[in-house]
Amino acid sequence: GNPLHVRRADGSCAVVFAANDYLGLSGHPEVRAAAAEAARAHGCGPRSSALVCGYTEAHRDLENNLAALKSTEAALLFPTGFAANLSVLGALASSGGVAIFSDELNHASIVDGARLAAKGGAQLHIYRHRDLCHLEQLLSASAAPRKLIVSDSLFSMDGDVADCAGLATLKERHGALLCLDEV
């Protein structure tokens, strides 16, 4: 069946809009077969973090394949989307002179990543939800040499969609980087 439809314990059905399986790949026959083969070859547990002893040839191969797919020199796997947002925002803002501009309704992982970057010296500006005029005012008022606009593309708590084209226009106009948490 459709992986976005689930049967609850009380027997009722629900459509899931908040899962991490956005494309419904978890039920795809090839994905299921590959997962079964990986379990036979490597076991079923995470062992530990990649740093300690959890990094396998399969992880390396996936990173290499993703890098090739995206025509870039490297790719890096994260254990969760939350960890990715924390790490990416910290890395992008780590060199100093950075101002981060974050939508007020961004996911908690973006909020925490931006706060962590601010503790490291980045300036943090919060703009009203999907308010590009307010964002432009904040961008114009900032003297930071490096500006980073960060937004969810789809706000998971209420279903709002970011104006990605408008964000891209402001990015160009103000010489900023744009980081979208894409679903």
State the pLDDT at residue 57.
86
State the pLDDT at residue 136.
99
**Residue with the larger pLDDT of the pair 159 and 51:** 159
Token representation of residue 147: 């500006």
State the pLDDT at residue 47.
73
Distance CA 94, CA 113 (A): 11
Same domain, 9 and 91: no
Q: How confident is the model at residue 3 (pLDDT cuts 50, 70, 90)?
A: low
- Average pLDDT value for the chain: 90
| Structural domain range at position 60 | 46-77
Same domain, 63 and 142: no
pLDDT digits (tens, 9 = 90+) for 90-107: 888 877 899 999 999 999
Whether the Cβ atoms of residue 152 and residue 180 lie closer than 8 Å to each other: yes
Q: How confident is the model at residue 32 (pLDDT cuts 50, 70, 90)?
A: very high
pLDDT digits (tens, 9 = 90+) for 112-154: 999 999 999 999 999 999 999 999 999 999 999 999 999 999 9
1 pLDDT exceeds 70?
no
In this structure, the number of other CB atoms found within 10 A of the CB of residue 167 comes to: 23
Same domain, 38 and 63: no
State the pLDDT at residue 55.
83
46 pLDDT exceeds 80?
no
Same domain, 39 and 70: no
Torsion over CA: 1, 33, 72, 77 (sign): positive
Same domain, 92 and 170: yes
State the pLDDT at residue 37.
93
Same domain, 104 and 30: no
